[in-house]
Structure 1
Amino acid sequence: MGKRLWVERNKDGSWDAFSEDGAHAKFGKGKGLFSPGDLLKISLAACGALSSSFAVESALGEGKGAHIVVDGTYDDDDDAFLSFDEQLTVDATDADLSDEDAAKLKERIIRHIDKSCTVKHSLEREEPVRLNVTVRH
């Protein structure tokens, strides 16, 4: 079992997400808030960022990282994302990489993400979600 997470509604209609180790994020509907669909896309991008960081830092130096943009194709009728498109860009302009070194870095990044990105693995698998509702009264 992974880290325990929970959400709580605020009086203004926004929500706060918490983890047992102190992490916090705000979400909801409206300006300045991430929607749950946004958070899903952020999770995919964040997973790619963390999974690729070792490969990028090994090649380019500590503190270097990727810029990742995620878009999703959404189906209104099914209220679901049909697919996701990730664009990962690494700025290596100051590293003076050869074409061969850039190609090797690209392949290494792909291998790291394919091996270590739990969110990508989960979305590709379409894992079932079990929902248990309790109404305390």
Structure 2
Amino acid sequence: MAKKVWVERNKDGSWDAFGDDGAHIKFGHGQGLFDPGDLMKLALAGCAALSSQVAVESTLGEGKGATISVDGTYDDELKGFASFKEQIELDASSAGLHNEDVEKFKERVQKHIERSCMVMHTYEHATPVSEEITVKQ
């Protein structure tokens, strides 16, 4: 069963997002807060990080990980992002990899992300969103 998530407004104008398993983040508009566009980029980066973790740790060692940044091109006509660019940095300086090993490592990381990152798969295809509004009286 999928995790239930919801958001609630705070008195200061920020929002809290919750998961039924205890997960929590704060977001909104303003200094020190992730806005919804940031959260979309973070979802993509986080998915790539989790998807690539096995490949990265098997090559670089337990506890090692990628640094992943995502930038998006916003389109005013679309009123949304037209594209995302993901930059994955892997520090293999202490692993002693040769050039052919580096290329194989990059391919392996990419295959893990392409196979497992459901956020990337979702963003690559049009995803319908339905909405239901309930007003309690």
TM over 0.5: yes
1:2 and 1:121 mapped to 2: Cα distance?
A: 17
Deviation at 1:119, TM superposition (A): 0.3
Q: Once the two structures are superposed, what CA deviation does each residue of 1:72-106 show, in whole Å capped at 9, x if it has no partner?
A: 00012332000000000100011110111111110
2:77 and 2:107 mapped to 1: Cα distance?
A: 37
* Structure 1 stretches lacking a partner, 5+ long: none
Partner of 1:48: 48
Structure 1 vs Structure 2: percent identity of aligned residues?
61
Aligned pairs, number: 137
1:78 and 1:28 mapped to 2: Cα distance?
A: 22
Deviation at 1:2, TM superposition (A): 1.6
Partner of 1:118: 118
Give matches, 1:79-90, under 5 Å: 79-90=79-90
Partner of 1:127: 127
Letter in structure 2 aligned against 1:2: A
1:120 and 1:103 mapped to 2: Cα distance?
A: 22
Q: Once the two structures are superposed, what CA deviation does each residue of 1:8-37 show, in whole Å capped at 9, x if it has no partner?
A: 000000000000000000000000000011
CA-based RMSD of the aligned residues comes to: 0.8
2:75 and 2:7 mapped to 1: Cα distance?
A: 26
2:126 and 2:54 mapped to 1: Cα distance?
A: 27
Partner of 1:58: 58
Letter in structure 2 aligned against 1:7: V
Letter in structure 2 aligned against 1:66: A
1:84 and 1:100 mapped to 2: Cα distance?
A: 29
Give the TM-score normalised by structure 2: 0.97
Give the TM-score normalised by structure 1: 0.97
